[in-house]
Amino acid sequence: MLTSLTHNTRRPDISFYRSGRIDITARVAKSLGLQDGDVIDVACEGGEYYLYIRYKGKDLTGSHRGQCHATNSGNVCNNFRAYSKQLCRIVLRLNGNVNVARLPVGQTVHREELGTGIAAYLIIRNNLSHD
């Protein structure tokens, strides 16, 4: 019997780490319109989870949990990183108290009640990590 060694070829769109680090791919950042300084959050409704921009960076003063910054200081950077131990702890608990949750993100949907109105469906229980 022939068996694949890689199991899953899907790459994660967002990763949550026990340290509080959150890595966001360029595809997700572009679909949400994420910009440097924006604050992300996850909302839940009826078992569905949505990643969204809670606050736009241009409207903020001070530092905030979940505030996104480009991972590269060059002129063009499309990947973002944020830190929120609280948010990571919740997502990791939803995934069975793992050390890392590397999750795919579904399509972008319009949800006016989530501030910017744009949210990405977060596939919370499909951890692509083998850890």
In angstroms, the CA 40 to CA 37 distance is 10
In a domain, 108, yes or no: yes
pTM for this one? 0.87
Domain that holds residue 116: 14-122
In a domain, 49, yes or no: yes
Query: pLDDT under 50 in the chain at which residues?
Result: none
In a domain, 100, yes or no: yes
pLDDT of residue 87: 96
The total number of structural domains that make up the chain:
1
In a domain, 23, yes or no: yes
DSSP-based three-state secondary structure for 17: strand
In a domain, 58, yes or no: yes
In a domain, 51, yes or no: yes
At 57, give phi and psi (nearest 5°): -60, -35
In a domain, 3, yes or no: no
pLDDT of residue 129: 76
pLDDT of residue 92: 94
